[in-house]
């Protein structure tokens, strides 16, 4: 459905997109994950033919994407990062206005607008002006304006920024439902949990480059960390840290002044048992024990050496 | 396109802040002007200013007064005592002495007296020329005086039937010029809502399948419609206040239409620049007010002063052109001058609109 090849975008000396390659298939929820400034939005804007780029090709629905590719644009819905609605129009009027840019027929449009309102749960607010809406409702209106015409491809650029957890969950559920109804979705975010929760395939970006891509599981398998074990309230004596490092599958041990032991292991069974057995053998008391499977942040951290969330 | 246009008109009408500058602010100023200056003089009812002439042998000056008499000046020849008594009794507003150096005595400093003073200074300004003509071609003197009057009409906006009207009416004409230019506020916002590198709204519109030309034109037309209606409301309000626009008032509608277009185009021109919003508003307010000031909205003689010293400024200042077109229709009845003003306004509008359109038609940006 989307094919991007060798895309390069420079802002003077700064390389915003560095030979980016990307393929998205119909029916996917494709997540673009990366810290702020990693090039996610720039890639989207190039894809939408809003930004000039220095090199590369972009194809949407098998055709070269140009600013005047109106027949392609007709099949795309965009939910921009910043809320883009008219302050002077009610919720209904806003959705109707933007839907009207795609669907001229009034009767068809009315049906679509009503469906979008129901889909985003804005029924009770349709006569309200945007300034009367909470942050979460405003984000939902922003989404409704982008999806009302029921596009084949929906591009959502960080749609949950500054949204409360309840609204966020509602939005995420809605995105999955849109996909279930047949839309392909490109979803950019720097929230790894939500990308992991809804995306069928993920590309992790940093400094304009793709550093890894695949399903969440595939990405996690790419890294050494299979499990992170955190044990609180441990009083280790000299040499015991070194002993733990020598245990099978353990490749990194940190012991903090707060007496928290963090052990990183490769993927294997009974990692926790092995460590706890060692501590018991050594008569070392310990408190709470946590075992965490790797996250996308671990993937990012291991590949780039820095946290996904700065 | 029609649906977009209608939606845009609805949108512009709901933007209260811009409607304040485009409609309410000029109405408030008009009310203040009315309270301060009154509504001007009804041209049809204007009476001739009575004055006495004490003949002291300056034939050229006497011929000058004779030629100026028609319509607005009623000069009676008297001896000095008689004239002074008439002035004291309030029967006349001033006494002209036609000596080697003509002079004027007035009792007070009212409007009529100002007219007489202006007439005298007008003569003094052209005295040498008139004397030469009087000496060499005495028969041509009345024609030369008449030509002088025409010349002044064309270049100085000081007509032989003029100062009293300019004193009051000029403020209102300047105000109409300002009202047209204030359409720039709506134009600026419309432009910002068309450039994807300036607002998320514009970005959303830019990725829609609507042709760029349709987006830009429907936006421009919508703003122009609202602005033109606002100026027409102002005109109607001024008429209700008692300001006369003369018999050919309908000729003012094209002026308002073109003036509104200029204002909107100016706003779109500024709005399409990549500057901070606050800076753009500052530029619009200061430049619109400055142009209105040059057109005589705050100091009615300003336009004349500029005409004397930097006439080109009056040719490129839209507010002056609008005010002057009003003068041409309502006071001078000068179709040539009216047409010239409209042409200049049209040229300025086309230039601004073309540059703005060139900027707005862009669909791909270097950065967002």
Listed by start position, the domains of chain A span 2-221, 227-293
Q: What's the whole-number mean pLDDT along residues B11-26? A: 87
pLDDT value at residue A163: 81
CATH domain A227-293 topology: Alpha-Beta Plaits (3.30.70)
User: Between residues B296 and A176, which one has the greater pLDDT?
Assistant: A176
For A81, which residue in chain B has the nearest alpha carbon?
Answer: B200
Q: B30 at the A interface (CB within 8 A)?
A: no
Is the pLDDT confidence value at A278 over 90?
yes
Cβ of B364 within 8 Å of Cβ of A86? The answer is no
Residue A308 pLDDT class (50, 70, 90 cuts):
low
> Which residue in the set B15, B210, B364 is minimally distant from A49, CB to CB?
B364
pLDDT value at residue B166: 44
**Start-end of CATH 3.40.190 domains in chain B:** 48-156
The overall average pLDDT reported for chain B is: 81
Is the pLDDT confidence value at A255 over 80?
yes
Distance to chain B for A71, nearest Cα, Å: 7
- Are the CB atoms for A187 and A29 separated by under 8 Å? yes
Residue A309 pLDDT class (50, 70, 90 cuts):
low
- Are the CB atoms for B105 and B94 separated by under 8 Å? yes
pLDDT value at residue B300: 74
Give which of A40, A76, A88 to mutate to test B binding, by max B Cβ within 10 Å. A88
Distance to chain A for B223, nearest Cα, Å: 15
Instruction: Choose the weakest-confidence range: A130-134, A197-201, A226-230, B36-40.
Output: B36-40
Is the pLDDT confidence value at A194 over 50?
yes
Cβ of A84 within 8 Å of Cβ of B14? The answer is no
Class of residue A267 by CB neighbours under 10 A (exposed 0-12, middle 13-18, buried 19+): middle
Give B66-77 pLDDT, tens digit per residue: 776 665 678 888
Q: A244 at the B interface (CB within 8 A)?
A: no
Q: What's the whole-number mean pLDDT along residues B22-50? A: 73
With respect to CATH, is domain A2-221 assigned 3.20.20.10? no
Give B141-177 pLDDT, tens digit per residue: 666 666 555 444 433 333 333 334 445 788 888 899 9
Instruction: Choose the weakest-confidence range: A76-80, A137-141, A223-227, B144-148.
Output: B144-148
CATH number of this structure's domain B48-156: 3.40.190
Q: What tokens appear for B181 in the block? A: 């230019």
For B202, which residue in chain A has the nearest alpha carbon?
Answer: A84
User: Between residues B155 and A64, which one has the greater pLDDT?
Assistant: A64
For B214, which residue in chain A has the nearest alpha carbon?
Answer: A101
Q: From the CB of residue B169, how many other CB atoms can be counted at a distance below 10 Å?
A: 27
> Which residue in the set B15, B207, B210 is minimally distant from A50, CB to CB?
B207
Give A150-164 pLDDT, tens digit per residue: 999 999 998 888 788
The overall average pLDDT reported for chain A is: 91
**Cα B54 from Cα B83, distance rounded (Å):** 7
Instruction: Choose the weakest-confidence range: B46-60, B79-93, B175-189.
Output: B46-60
pLDDT value at residue B298: 82
Q: B363 at the A interface (CB within 8 A)?
A: yes
The ipTM of this complex is 0.80
Q: B208 at the A interface (CB within 8 A)?
A: yes
Angle at CA of residue B254, ends B153 and B217, nearest 5°: 135
Distance to chain B for A78, nearest Cα, Å: 7
Nearest Cα residue to B299 out of B176, B166, B195, B208: B166
Is the pLDDT confidence value at A266 over 60?
yes
pLDDT value at residue B144: 65
Give B213-259 pLDDT, tens digit per residue: 888 889 889 999 999 999 999 999 998 888 878 778 888 999 999 99
**Cα B255 from Cα B177, distance rounded (Å):** 10
pLDDT value at residue B194: 84
Q: B214 at the A interface (CB within 8 A)?
A: no
pLDDT value at residue B140: 66
Is the pLDDT confidence value at B363 over 80?
no
- Are the CB atoms for B187 and B166 separated by under 8 Å? no
Is the pLDDT confidence value at B134 over 80?
no
Residue A296 pLDDT class (50, 70, 90 cuts):
confident
Is the pLDDT confidence value at B302 over 90?
no
Give B317-356 pLDDT, tens digit per residue: 999 999 989 888 887 778 888 999 999 999 999 999 989 8
Q: How many Cβ contacts (< 8 angstroms) between chains A and B?
A: 76
Chain B CB contacts of A89 below 8 Å: 11, 14
Q: What tokens appear for A172 in the block? A: 């995420």
Is the pLDDT confidence value at A262 over 80?
yes
């Amino acid at each position: 459905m989307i094919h991007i090849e060798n895309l390069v975008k420079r802002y003077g000396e700064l390389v915003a997109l560095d030979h980016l390659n990307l393929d998205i298939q119909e029916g996917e929820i494709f997540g673009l994950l990366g810290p702020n400034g990693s090039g996610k939005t720039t890639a989207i804007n190039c894809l939408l033919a809003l930004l000039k780029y220095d090199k590369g090709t972009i194809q949407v629905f098998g055709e070269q994407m140009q600013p005047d590719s109106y027949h392609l644009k007709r099949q795309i819905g965009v939910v921009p990062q910043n809320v883009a609605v008219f302050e002077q129009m009610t919720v209904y009027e806003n959705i109707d206005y933007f839907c009207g840019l795609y669907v001229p027929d009034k009767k068809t449009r009315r049906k679509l607008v009503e469906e979008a309102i129901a889909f985003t749960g804005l029924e009770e607010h349709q006569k309200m002006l945007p300034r009367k809406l909470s942050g979460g409702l405003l984000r939902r209106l922003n989404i409704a304006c982008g999806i009302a015409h029921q596009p084949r491809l929906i591009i959502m650029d960080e749609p949950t920024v500054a949204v409360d957890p309840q609204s966020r969950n509602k939005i995420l559920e809605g995105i999955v439902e849109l996909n279930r109804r047949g839309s392909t979705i490109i979803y950019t975010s720097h929230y790894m949990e939500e990308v992991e929760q809804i995306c069928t395939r993920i590309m992790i970006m940093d400094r304009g480059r793709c550093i890894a891509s695949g399903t969440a599981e595939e990405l996690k398998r790419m890294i050494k960390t299979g499990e992170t074990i955190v044990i609180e309230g441990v009083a280790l004596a000299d040499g015991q840290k070194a002993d733990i490092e020598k245990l099978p599958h353990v490749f990194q041990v940190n012991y903090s002044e707060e007496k928290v032991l963090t052990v990183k292991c490769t993927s294997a069974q009974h990692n926790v048992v092995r460590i706890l057995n060692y501590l018991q053998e050594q008569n070392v008391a310990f408190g709470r024990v946590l075992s965490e499977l790797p996250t996308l942040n671990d993937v990012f951290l291991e590949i780039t050496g820095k946290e996904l969330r700065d | 396109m029609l649906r977009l246009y209608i939606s845009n008109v609805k949108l512009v009408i709901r933007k209260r802040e811009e409607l304040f500058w485009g409609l309410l602010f000029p109405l408030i100023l008009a009310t203040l002007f009315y309270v301060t200056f009154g509504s001007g003089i009804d041209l049809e009812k204007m009476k001739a200013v009575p004055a006495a002439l004490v003949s002291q042998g300056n034939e050229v000056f006497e011929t000058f007064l004779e030629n100026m008499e028609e319509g607005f000046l009623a000069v009676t020849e008297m001896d000095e005592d008689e004239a002074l008594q008439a002035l004291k009794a309030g029967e006349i507003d001033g006494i002209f002495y036609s000596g080697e150096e003509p002079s004027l005595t007035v009792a007070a400093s009212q409007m009529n007296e100002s007219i007489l003073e202006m007439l005298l200074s007008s003569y003094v300004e052209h005295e040498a020329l008139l004397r030469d003509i009087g000496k060499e071609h005495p028969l041509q003197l009345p024609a030369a005086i008449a030509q002088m009057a025409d010349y002044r009409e064309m270049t100085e906006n000081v007509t032989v039937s003029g100062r009293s009207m300019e004193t009051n009416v000029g403020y209102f004409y300047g105000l109409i010029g300002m009202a047209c230019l204030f359409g720039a506020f709506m134009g600026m916002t419309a432009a910002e809502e068309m450039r994807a590198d300036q607002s998320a709204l514009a970005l959303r519109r830019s990725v829609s399948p609507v042709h760029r030309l349709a987006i830009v034109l429907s936006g421009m037309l919508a703003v122009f419609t609202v602005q033109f209606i606002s100026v027409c409301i102002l005109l109607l309000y001024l008429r209700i206040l008692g300001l006369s626009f003369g018999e050919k008032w309908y000729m003012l509608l094209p002026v308002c239409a073109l003036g509104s277009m200029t204002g909107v185009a100016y706003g779109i021109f500024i709005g399409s620049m990549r500057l901070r919003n606050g800076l753009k508003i500052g530029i619009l307010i200061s430049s619109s007010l400055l142009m209105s000031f040059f057109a005589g909205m705050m100091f009615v003689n300003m336009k004349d002063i500029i005409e004397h010293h930097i006439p080109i400024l009056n040719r490129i200042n839209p507010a002056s052109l609008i005010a002057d077109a009003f003068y041409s229709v309502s006071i001078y009845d000068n179709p040539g001058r009216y047409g010239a003003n409209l042409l200049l306004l049209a040229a300025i509008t086309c230039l601004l609109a073309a540059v703005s359109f060139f900027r707005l038609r862009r669909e791909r940006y270097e950065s967002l």
